[in-house]
Amino acid sequence: MPQYVDGFVIPMQKRKVKAYLRQARWGAMMWKEHGALAYFECVGEDLKPQFGMGFPKMARLKAGETVVFSFIVYKSRAHRDKVNAAVMKDPRMNDMDMKAMPFDVKRMAMGGFEVLVSW
């Protein structure tokens, strides 16, 4: 049963979601190939919550932007560390041009999370 998740919140211009999708598919292939249990990339669709802060405010979205919520599932933190190390050592990672990212990397939020409930 999965016990650890890496989570990401990525603000980006709506017009760049298609370009991001190409990179997301590449990322899914890489992380799954190196052992991640599951890989999800989700684009905001219903971002007007009935209560709470909501992603637009939290991510400080600007006009014409949306948010991508992503997460990668692992067996444990140790498994996550092993998978991420393998991904970073993969020579195909050298093909990734950080300057060509379809979003501002400085605005991306991320973190590792222990699973509290898994139904």
Burial of 35 (0-12, 13-18, 19+ CB in 10 A): middle
Global pTM reads 0.90
Provide the edge-to-edge strand list for the sheet that holds 109-114: 38-43, 65-74, 4-13, 109-114
Among 2-6, 39-43, 47-51, which range has the highest average pLDDT? 39-43
CA–CA gap between residue 119 and residue 3 (Å, rounded): 12
| Res 100 pLDDT > 80 | no
pLDDT tens digits along 45-65: 999 888 899 999 999 999 999
- Domain segments of the chain: what residues? 24-45+53-62+71-119
pLDDT, residue 48, reads 87
pLDDT at 1 over 80: no
Q: What is the largest CA-CA distance in the chain?
A: 46
Q: What percent of the chain has pLDDT over 70?
A: 96
Six-digit token string for 12: 């980006």
Question: Which residue has better confidence, 94 or 11?
Answer: 11
- Work out the pLDDT band at 84, boundaries 50, 70, 90: very high
Whether residue 8 has pLDDT greater than 80: yes
